[in-house]
Amino acid sequence: MEKEICGTCAIGWQHREAMTGAREKAVELLEVIHSDIGGPMQVNTISGERYFITFIHKWSGRIAITLLKSKNEALGEFQAYKMRAEKEAGKQIRAFKTDGGGEYINHEFKSYLQNCGIAHRISPPYTPRNNGLAERANLTLMESARCMIADAQIDKAFWGFAVGTAAHIHNRIPSRSYGDISPLQHWTGKPPSIGYLRVFGCVTYTLIPAEKRRKRDPKSGKCILLEYDEEAGSKVYRVYNQGSKRIFCSSDVIIDEARRNTVSKDIVEEDEMEIQLPEVREKGVAERTPGNLAEQDSYVATRNEPDLEGFGGDTIIVRPPHHDDESRGRMVSLPGPRRSERQRNPSQHTNSQVPRAMIAHLDESHTLKEALASDDSDNKYKAWESEVDSLVRNKTWELSPLPAGREAIGCRWLFKLKEDGQYKVRLVAKGYGQQAGLDYTETFAPVAKFTSLRSLLALVAENDWELEGMDVKTAFLHSEHEETDFMEIPEGLHMDMPVSDSQKEDRIACHLNKAI
């Protein structure tokens, strides 16, 4: 007997149907992919993103996440996810479950799904529970990110890193809905490693590459842990340096989970480090290429990450101290330093691939007289004449009487034999005889900065200019000498100057006009 329906009762009492009963489960890889977009957020990320899109694999519960500047980027992100997932699983996506948002049901998106043979399941309007898997995943990620930001006491603009970290952790913890195993294990069949996971926002001390520091510079910089770089590997951390206001990746870190630092959002993101640390790349959404999805489960690709090839190393963890009654006051013997057992190979720096003209050997001649009396004196004399000609032509000095109370700085000729068989001669002053404040006020070498050189090369590449290199002979003689310094007349030079009767008793010296 059919149930009689009362229209009046329906008008006055109808309510939503309860979503009860067993939820339909997927039985194979990529059978159904759920997706939803979260946002807009009240605060943009440091790269300008306001949204994030999630792709949830229904069979395993695995989450992939990407940050978006606008909802129009949804199709491109799905295409990138589809390519990676299908290449990893060896199967094709059969169904795509979303809500009825305009970013999913526009003509371009629908045409792409039809061409790929993917069924598009759209939940009815105002029925988010019909796509509850994606809705709940977004809620869980945002609640986790909110807690991490509050605990780390960092600016809300870092929410993108927090959401990415939450997805990374979600994929590695067991889920009761999937047989008490993690989504990543459900996907790959192997339990994931979690030993590298650390407290979000804790203090890290990151090694500064030798190429990015000088001899006496600090070897480590104080940073804040933000995220894990899944493209580079599980033990590669993305950190924020508060001093330089930059974000970069490194695996050479000492992590202190007991400490926190307040972080503002006045930062700059870096490109290839280079790291190192690295040149700054324009913030934006990175292009995607298919990769190993097993290593990129919570793929966050809104920031252009620096290239960290060659940054190997161990990670040292500093845990918060735990005290108990038995351990108080007890002496603990610490193990000695660990010594590397790696075999050392001889340096190949001076092999045949090094340009021979760039290597020089110091000649054993200590004076001009010794040099001219030694073997190959003719070539040495020609090199010496060339240097004297440069000094005279550039008006390096002028002869004058030495003032009372002043001492002339000594000098000597330095002979060098280059690998190409040519001699190089330089006149060097004995600077150790100078007095600070009298002969000089500061010490520095007028050399070009590599930052300026890289900027010049970047302009040449961007504007398609022609670049020519040249070598300026005795380039240091082109710098003007501002201090009043006197030098002894170099060995082998006999220079006369007219003097008055009152100056005949004075000592003649070289008044320097140029730096040597």
Rounded Cα distance, 17 and 324, in Å: 56
The answer to whether position 196 is within a domain reads no
Question: How long, in residues, is the chain?
Answer: 516
pLDDT at residue 313 is higher than 50: no
Residues 171 and 235 occupy one common structural domain:
no
Place of tokens 């640390």: 277
More confident site: 199 or 244: 199
Tell me, what's the pLDDT at 262?
A: 64
Rounded to an integer, the average pLDDT of 278-295 is 39
Rounded Cα distance, 231 and 187, in Å: 18
Rounded to an integer, the average pLDDT of 193-200 is 90
pLDDT in tens, 418-427: 877 788 888 8
Domain that holds residue 183: 32-188
CB 273 within 8 A of CB 291: no
The answer to whether position 27 is within a domain reads no
Q: Which of 255, 286, 318 is the last residue of a domain?
A: 318
More confident site: 390 or 337: 390
Rounded to an integer, the average pLDDT of 238-253 is 87
The answer to whether position 308 is within a domain reads yes
How far does Cα 54 stand from its chain's mean position?
27
φ, ψ at 417 (rounded to 5°) = -105, 115
The answer to whether position 261 is within a domain reads yes
Q: Which of 295, 318, 341 is the last residue of a domain?
A: 318
Residues 154 and 180 occupy one common structural domain:
yes
CB 155 within 8 A of CB 41: no
The domain that contains 132 carries what CATH number? 3.30.420.10
Rounded Cα distance, 237 and 239, in Å: 6
Tell me, what's the pLDDT at 120?
A: 95
Residues 172 and 215 occupy one common structural domain:
no
Tell me, what's the pLDDT at 308?
A: 34
Residues 113 and 254 occupy one common structural domain:
no
> Taking Cα atoms as reference points, which of 53, 52, 56, 12 lies closest to residue 31?
56
Burial 410-436 (b: 16+ CB within 10 A, else e): ebebbbebeeeeebebebebeeeebee
Residue 406 Cα distances to 158, 425, 481, 494, angstroms: 63, 28, 18, 22
Q: What is the SS3 assignment for 288?
A: coil
More confident site: 327 or 275: 327
Tell me, what's the pLDDT at 362?
A: 54
Rounded to an integer, the average pLDDT of 90-105 is 92
Tell me which of 81-85, 264-268, 379-383 is least confident: 264-268
The answer to whether position 353 is within a domain reads no
Tell me, what's the pLDDT at 3?
A: 74
How many helices and strands (H and E) does the chain possess? 10, 19
Return mean pLDDT, the chain: 76
pLDDT in tens, 102-118: 999 999 999 999 999 99
Residue 356 Cα distances to 347, 351, 353, 421, 426, angstroms: 17, 9, 8, 10, 20
CB 158 within 8 A of CB 277: no
pLDDT at residue 467 is higher than 70: yes
